Amino acid sequence: MKRFIFLLIVLACPFLMFAADAALAVPAVSAVAVAAPAAASNSGDISWMLISSALVLLMTPGLAFFYGGLVRRKNILGVLMQCFMAMAVISLQWVLFGYSLSFAPGNGFIGGLKYIGLNNVGMEPAPYAPNIPHQLFMIFQMMFAVITPALIIGAFAERMKFSAYIIFSLLWATLVYNPLCHWVWGGGWLQKLGVMDFAGGIVVHISAGFAALVTAIIIGKRRNHTDSPTPHNLPFTVLGAGLLWFGWFGFNAGSSLAANNVAISAFLSTNIAAAAAALTWAVIEWINMGKPTMLGTATGAVAGLATVTPASGFIGIWGAMAIGVSTSIICYLAVGMLKPKFKYDDTLDAFGVHGIGGLWGTLMTGLFASKLINSAGSNGLFFGNPHQFLVQCVGAFAAVGYTVAVTAVLYKLVDVFLGVRVDDKKEVLGLDVSEHNERAYTLIE
Amino acid sequence: MKMIIAIIQPHKLEDVKQELYKANVNLLTVNEVLGHGRQKGITEVYRGVRESGNLLRKIRLEICVNDDFVDATLNAIMTGARTGETGDGKIFILPMEDCLRIRTGEKGKVAVG
């Protein structure tokens, strides 16, 4: 009981600070308000967006190490390979037709074919960001498309056939990611409804997280494996978490699509949320388990980053702190209680961290968003606009429903034609040797 | 006094350990080793160069027991490690001269545990 009360106090702190701050310091915050949108392409925006794109790309190998350290060592190359292959396959998918399905003018559900093969995507001002060239906008968005299917890998790690993985992620990118991207950012129905998703809480984290839940449940548990986690190289996981944190500045601050005040404020919220979430997770473990762990702290940081993603460009520092603290508590419960209770083998907690985090963050955006931070957004519930919270709920749960349904169908489809799961013998031998004919570590020499 | 050396598949280690605990055998040393029996190992490929006959990872257990524990230990390893497929491994039983506990200097049956 004492613990519970302590947790509640910890959870309440940033909310109270937020309330005090909102009541007292509004004029101070308004100094951070956004500049008028820049007009034509300029080298400042172009260079920031090029760098941001590269930062976001680095998150995929970062994720590979984050995940890779957590699996048994006979499977690390399998995980690295799946992440790396997402960089290859989805990059090409995006250029050939993915970008067009996401961002070309179309109906409310999916984009048209105007930009297929990058037709009509040149150096003219981008339709959604006139201050940078269209091609640069496409590059930046490509990196988001790459990492999203890679996030799902955590759910079926250590047991999915590589060929099936490629086909599945290609289909998933086309039929889940591209439509969702269009709904929220490409002029689709959720954007028209006014859903706010700054850097991909719905598009990236809800979609990947709930796809992870579905695939983990359908593919079934790993064989010869106890329910306790078996990380073979935690330093890799921490390295991966570090690369993710670093790359996330491109992800969130870059999503302002300009080198401006919104980018600065998104950068700051990102860092605050990650820090608060990492600390909170460590404190929870300290109270609950007696010792804080490195894996828990790294997981907390990633959960904080995932959760602040949809809110990052719309919130102030106390909102970011409230998001960071609360997300660790919620994700900790999801990973430590929900998963054991329902007995699904979400191997690396892709759902517990990204699905729950993305959902929580999207809803919190509807609470903490403020036009003082970003004049292009809307106010949230705490700034007198309860309607926005409702809109966020609609957006989040529509994305959950669509993702769950389509992912299940795609999985079954691939399973019929290819078989998704490796056979028992290969699983026992490990994916490194059985799927790729190579080994990560030698024992002798 | 016997020394029992068992070569088993890595993923069966947890099962073998549980069986040993059930049989009240709590002292063991575990090594990671490479090797193969009749199954001839695996093929690996590095930058297009094929290397066949590579060794498989195995686990080597060393357990020293007094005579009245030998059968229980062997049974526990058999139960835990057996899948019925090739590659399940082997158990070797060696006579043991003597045993000495470093901390106390005790010898023989008491020292084995």
Q: Would you state the pLDDT for residue B42?
A: 76
Q: How far is A340 from chain B (nearest CA, A)?
A: 20
H-helix or E-strand spanning residue B95: strand B90-95
Q: Would you state the pLDDT for residue B113?
A: 79
| Helical packing angle, A261-289 and A234-253, nearest 10° | 150
Strands A125-126 and B49-54: unpaired
What would you measure as the largest C-alpha separation in chain A, in angstroms?
66
Residue A10: band (very low, low, confident or very high) from pLDDT cuts 50, 70, 90: low
d(CA B42, CA A43) in angstroms, rounded, equals 55
Task: Report helix, strand or coil for A124.
Answer: coil
Q: Would you state the pLDDT for residue A32?
A: 35
- pLDDT, mean of residues A304-322: 96
How many structural domains does chain A have? Answer: 1
Has residue A377 got a pLDDT over 50? yes
Where do we find the tokens 């190359």? A77
- Given CB atoms, is A425 within the 8 Å cutoff of chain B? yes
Cβ contacts of B85 on chain A, cutoff 8 Å: 425
Cβ contacts of B8 on chain A, cutoff 8 Å: none
Does any domain span residue A8? no
The residue type at A171: L
- Given CB atoms, is A444 within the 8 Å cutoff of chain B? yes
Where do we find the tokens 């010792």? A291
| Chain centre distance of CA A229 | 22
- Select from A442, A311, A431, A318 the least CA-distant residue to A364: A311
Has residue A29 got a pLDDT over 50? no
Interface of B with A in 1-20 (CB under 8 A): 9, 11-12, 14
Beta-carbon separation of A74 and B57 below 8 A: yes
* Angle (CA) A150 A151 A152, round 5°: 90
Beta-carbon separation of B9 and A226 below 8 A: no
Residue A397's Cβ-count burial label (10 Å; 0-12, 13-18, 19+) is: middle
Has residue A374 got a pLDDT over 80? yes
Residue A445: band (very low, low, confident or very high) from pLDDT cuts 50, 70, 90: low
A36 vs A194: which has the higher pLDDT? A194
d(CA A216, CA A230) in angstroms, rounded, equals 17
Does any domain span residue A283? yes
Q: Would you state the pLDDT for residue A230?
A: 82
- Tokens describing residue B37: 């029996």
Q: How far is A438 from chain B (nearest CA, A)?
A: 5
B31 close to B59: Cβ distance less than 8 angstroms: yes
Where do we find the tokens 């508590």? A329
A104 close to A112: Cβ distance less than 8 angstroms: yes
Does any domain span residue A151? yes
Cβ contacts of B31 on chain A, cutoff 8 Å: none
Task: Summarize pLDDT for A94-104 with one digit per residue, the tens.
Answer: 999 999 999 99
Does any domain span residue A293? yes
Q: Would you state the pLDDT for residue A7?
A: 58
Q: Would you state the pLDDT for residue A2?
A: 58
Task: Summarize pLDDT for A404-424 with one digit per residue, the tens.
Answer: 999 999 999 999 999 999 998
Task: Summarize pLDDT for A39-98 with one digit per residue, the tens.
Answer: 578 999 999 999 999 999 999 999 999 999 999 999 999 999 999 999 999 999 999 999
Beta-carbon separation of B45 and A438 below 8 A: yes
Q: Would you state the pLDDT for residue A184?
A: 96
Task: Using alpha carbons, list the distances in angstroms from residue B106 to A70, A73, A384, B21, B61.
Answer: 43, 40, 79, 24, 24
Q: Find, in chain B, the residue whose alpha carbon is nearest to that of A225.
A: B11
Residues in chain B predicted with pLDDT less than 50, given as ranges, are none
Has residue A27 got a pLDDT over 50? no
**Residues 6+ positions from A337 with CB-CB distance below 8 Å:** none
d(CA B39, CA B89) in angstroms, rounded, equals 11
Has residue A34 got a pLDDT over 50? no
Has residue A128 got a pLDDT over 70? yes
- Select from A355, A287, A312 the least CA-distant residue to A10: A287
Does any domain span residue A291? yes
Q: Which domains does chain B have, with CATH numbers?
A: 2-42+51-112 (3.30.70.120)
Domain limits for position A257: 39-436
CATH number of domain containing A71: 1.10.3430.10
Does any domain span residue A16? no
Residue A340: band (very low, low, confident or very high) from pLDDT cuts 50, 70, 90: confident
Average pLDDT, chain A: 91
Does any domain span residue A31? no
**Residues 6+ positions from A137 with CB-CB distance below 8 Å:** A49, A126, A128, A129, A257
Neighbours of A127 (CB within 10 A): 15
